[in-house]
Amino acid sequence: MRWLEQKDPETHLAIMQEVEREQDRLILIASENYVSPSILEAVGSVMTNKYAEGYPGRRYYSGCEAVDKVEELAIARAKTVFGAEHVNVQPHSGSQANMAVYLAAIRPGDTILGMNLSHGGHLTHGASVSFSGHYYKSVSYGVDPKTGLIDMDQVRSLAREHRPRIIIAGASSYPRTIDFAPFRAISDEVGATFLVDMAHISGLVAAGLHPSPFPVADYVTTSTHKTLRGPRGGMAFSREAHAKALDKAVFPMMQGGPLMHVVAGKAVMLREAMDPSFRDYMARVVDNCRVLAQTLTDGGYHLLTGGTDNHLLLIDLRPQGLTGRDAEQFLSQAGIFVNKNGVPFDDKPPTVTSGIRIGTPAATTRGLGQEEMRQVGLWIREILDSRGKAEVTQKIAAQVRELLSRFPIYGEIRRSGSATPR
């Protein structure tokens, strides 16, 4: 950071402002986390200099001996962590991992069956504004309006009617455990490939706290920066029978040279996930989320499905007469960051929404426990109950900063621009 401060003070200032924001603000966005200083070092390493199109031992450039080693490490560790037959660690994101599976398994114009974006799915599961809804015929399933749980009868009915070439399970805002076996049975019945997008729950799967999709799925994809607590990126897994098709889909069909500094970060991430402490961390994430959910429920807030089994929860704010956009703004003024989120059967646009999504991975990484999360729930209630009243948000903002001062992150970066272990 010293070099950057000297050579480009404007960029250095922006980075340091982000460091301070992360220290002084409570991050409750379910898709965000803090990487370790080891991962920061790997992603900021000289691996960024190397062009490495191809795969270990089969590159299109010379001088790839070191990057081959780091990619082989990432591959071996991913197979160990998840019990996978094959993995490609090169995708730049979870979305590109999904694209690679589509390129490997189906053709443009084929039918895909995925979870409705407004019910908790993801853009790449067939949303019209995504490539997945543009190049493929998209059919969407949703949740039961009474329970908020995935409507498996609807999944089965749509699959029988439309005969999709691929069925996608997985979500970006679904607070309950997903049972993958019924999806597998439906896929077999209609002759579909079965893909599980575990982007949000991959850390739980790695820790053995969510059923693994690997025994039943043909393909599995994930991002690496959510519950896995790694650098921003993706991975795509498959059965060995599909390995060649998947690798060809990633390179050369979808992308060129991999980001080898990010692959190095993924290798470190997977090493961290192999440590017994990672399971303890994920268990605390789930416990913290349940405590937060109960505190909000006790305050009269309506949680989708009535609670949570994983790292996130969804609040339907319609009973309070609030929008997700308003709630997001009120909370951010107090130094608490969540994201506005649509709820099933929402009548408001995605820029407004009727709900918010809250997650506990980042706060748990910092060391916050159940006592702190109970206090956080009380703060959220007070802020939203007051409709973001200035004196309330200002008071709580000071309390948030005081709490977080007891759980510092990246202290050495703030002092001298280099990382130190947590």
Q: Are 173 and 142 in contact (CB under 8 A)?
A: no
* H/E element, 139: strand 137-141
Taking the C-alpha atoms of residue 343 and residue 99, their distance in angstroms, rounded to an integer, is 26
| Helices H / strands E in the chain, number of each | 17, 15
The count of other CB atoms within 10 Å of the CB of residue 280 is 11
Q: How far is CA 240 from its chain centroid?
A: 25
The count of other CB atoms within 10 Å of the CB of residue 6 is 9
Q: Classify residue 210 as left (phi > 0), alpha (psi -120 to 50) or beta.
A: beta
Taking the C-alpha atoms of residue 265 and residue 77, their distance in angstroms, rounded to an integer, is 12
Taking the C-alpha atoms of residue 275 and residue 202, their distance in angstroms, rounded to an integer, is 15
Residue whose C-alpha is closest to residue 34's, from 285, 278, 226, 261: 226
Tell me the CB-side half-sphere exposure of residue 370, using CA atoms within 13 A.
7
Binding residues for (6S)-5,6,7,8-tetrahydrofolate, by number, are 117, 121-123, 240
Binding residues, by number, are 117, 121-123, 240
Three-class SS of residue 255?
coil
Per-residue three-class SS string for 176-227:
CCCCCHHHHHHHHHHCCEEEEECCCCHHHHHCCCCCCCCCCCCEEEEECCCC
